[in-house]
Chains A and B, each alone.
Chain A
């Protein structure tokens, strides 16, 4: 099984993209429902709630980012896949786990925080800065996970 290693590495990249992606889709969806509620009352708050709605979207980007790093490093993006051993493949798979799981769960939590923040905007639009800050707090952990994933992948070369 000469290519099992490669398959494992690709599995890692794919998991990073799709788990973080699911998380973001869910988070943006949760916030979007709340945003739609506010807009039905007061359409002028659109730009403010839009920012909050989009916040949980970044985890999906981080997943994509990790996937791109892995795919380009194992040569899949360049069209010349490397011959990886199973151990090497497993290492790539492991490296992708932080952003895959933290991305999935943090995006959903961030979606809920953003939805609550949208509630703030409905009542006190001038406090939107604070609402954004609350939601941005959640993102920190996705960023930390992304860093570990990326730094591991880069150093596996």
Chain B
């Protein structure tokens, strides 16, 4: 249990078996490859192959995204919980033989997608053009019309609004010589006036100069067609683009039944890429190769014997060296494995650490239940997670999470029953409001809303147990590593100090038997003395030692005081759940009429309690984590290990069966 023992494995085999052996190891997923550092051995450079695979994978992933966008698969929300699909051998060989074709599908899909994007850009462009043209619709000559044999024609815009008379007047003012000029206003608005001006060829330059003086700009994109015809043309173009888009979309949709195959391709390519990455790490001689790595001890026997049976191979398995960077893999029973993810969230155990998950598991469920502490809410959790666990073929990680919620739910039911909280005080509310009874006390132990002081003291007591277990783990680890003196002097004084101080502190709040008080006094005193004498035992100087001891005492006392007080959150969060649930029930029973009250209460109940569950689940989760991370782990746990990352079949959609050859 806990942290798996790792071994170093070294395999030497014939070059010709290289791929087969790697594939076998990949299927088993039990060996993490280390880089070969011996310079006398050759290496294969597979980076080109790898980048090629990456490119294919990207295309396939992109293609899958495109398919999902245009032809979304019909999936229920819950089906995403399901584990990867299993592939029969028949399907596998069928897909495998089609892999080039599938890749072509992917390229086609990407192509169609690009076509759609292109056409959309064209449509935007055409639309702006059309908008520009619309003001010119009244013009019945092409905008690029330059004139006849004897005349010149200018089509363009002026920056302000003019009427025909005003404009002609303005121009004759500017150049009185100018005659034989006719101007037609095509459109006029506040921003601009669109005009077509016709004049005699000889006075063309003068006319243009006069027009320019008042800001005339010739139409920038002279078009050979009349605006109306041109607009029609553009509209036809847009319709054509739209049809193209439609067609591309239909083309994409026609691939919707290929989604499975594309998923296969992604997984298949990923697998091959991983294999080539591993190939990079092995060392070569002319006819043999050498592969080094880490393997969990429990897999050694099976893999070694099978490899030796199949191939000409030399395998040596040794213990890791002192300074090796050994990877960490956790394995626990069903009760403790759900909290492995909590451990991972903090940090994997470092070399000297034990795996805290098994010890933490009990406290995790215990505190979680105590913070949520409503039997009704607990039941909801239990039922939900049990149904999901039963009905679905879940991914492993999902299974663990749900099992964690199951255990936390059971603990919540337990504490809820102890405190008599079932969806808050709903039983009392129904009894009083509808059955004209009195409030009922369902608590098996006591109701913390009526006596919070009692639960506060119990919270501290639970906290002290939690801290002591953490210190106990430290004691055992130090003792086992041979640091027996450290084990005793680091742990025992804390035990004495806390155990002694606890009855003294409790005495402030509740009556404590005198005998406990006086025992506590002496224990605490003994603890204080031990801390002062031993906490800086490494220094030789007697005064430095005393000074260090006093400082150590201050640190320890304030540290543990803070730690223990921190467990008051057990009470605070428990009270929060119960009293908010009570408020919800109260809101539901505020109406007078009995029938109406029943309806309102049902509605408020169905809306309010799920909300309360959600908020308090979050609170319980966060604060249980905090108690483990800050108060518990700080007593004995370092963290900082590296996760075991073997060469394996790391697929997203498809589960390859053992027997299938992985290309």
Within B559-601, the residues touching A (CB, 8 Å) are 565-566, 568-569, 571-572, 575-576, 579-580, 582-583, 586
User: Which residues of A sit under 8 angstroms from B618, Cβ to Cβ?
Assistant: 51, 54
Q: Is A136 a contact of B586 with CB atoms below 8 Å?
A: no
Type the 1/0 row for A118-150, where 1 means its CB is closer than 8 Å to any CB of B. 000000000011101100110110011011001
User: Looking at the complex, which one of A61, A130, A151 makes contact with B576 (CB distance below 8 Å)?
Assistant: A61
B469 CB to nearest A CB, Å: 20
User: Looking at the complex, which one of B452, B582, B615 makes contact with A150 (CB distance below 8 Å)?
Assistant: B452
A130 CA / B347 CA spacing, docked (Å): 9
Type the 1/0 row for A33-69, where 1 means its CB is closer than 8 Å to any CB of B. 0000000000000000001001101100110110011
| Segment with Cβ contacts to A, from B219-227, B271-279, B543-551, B620-628 | B620-628
Q: Is B453 a contact of A137 with CB atoms below 8 Å?
A: no
Q: Is B572 a contact of A136 with CB atoms below 8 Å?
A: no
A108 CB to nearest B CB, Å: 18
A136 CB to nearest B CB, Å: 4
Interface size class of B (residues with CB under 8 A): 20 to 34
Q: Is A146 a contact of B625 with CB atoms below 8 Å?
A: no
Interface size class of A (residues with CB under 8 A): 20 to 34
Within B219-273, the residues touching A (CB, 8 Å) are none
A128 CA / B341 CA spacing, docked (Å): 12
User: Which residues of B sit under 8 angstroms from A139, Cβ to Cβ?
Assistant: 569, 623
A67 CB to nearest B CB, Å: 10
A154 at the binding interface (Cβ < 8 Å): yes
Q: Is B572 a contact of A140 with CB atoms below 8 Å?
A: no
Tally of contacts, chain A with chain B, CB under 8 A:
70
Q: Is B579 a contact of A68 with CB atoms below 8 Å?
A: yes
User: Which residues of A sit under 8 angstroms from B615, Cβ to Cβ?
Assistant: 54, 57, 61
A131 CA / B342 CA spacing, docked (Å): 13
Q: Is B622 a contact of A136 with CB atoms below 8 Å?
A: yes
User: Which residues of A sit under 8 angstroms from B626, Cβ to Cβ?
Assistant: 132-133, 136-137
B328 CB to nearest A CB, Å: 14
Give 10 closest A-B pairs by Cβ, nearest first: A129-B345, A136-B626, A143-B572, A143-B569, A133-B629, A129-B346, A61-B576, A68-B579, A147-B568, A146-B572
23 A-B pairs (CB sep. < 8 Å): A54-B615, A57-B615, A58-B576, A58-B619, A61-B619, A62-B572, A65-B576, A68-B579, A129-B342, A129-B345, A129-B346, A129-B625, A132-B622, A132-B625, A133-B625, A136-B622, A136-B630, A140-B566, A140-B569, A147-B571, A150-B572, A151-B452, A154-B452
Binding site for B on A (CB under 8 A): 51, 54-55, 57-58, 61-62, 64-65, 68-69, 77, 128-130, 132-133, 136-137, 139-140, 143-144, 146-147, 150-151, 154-155
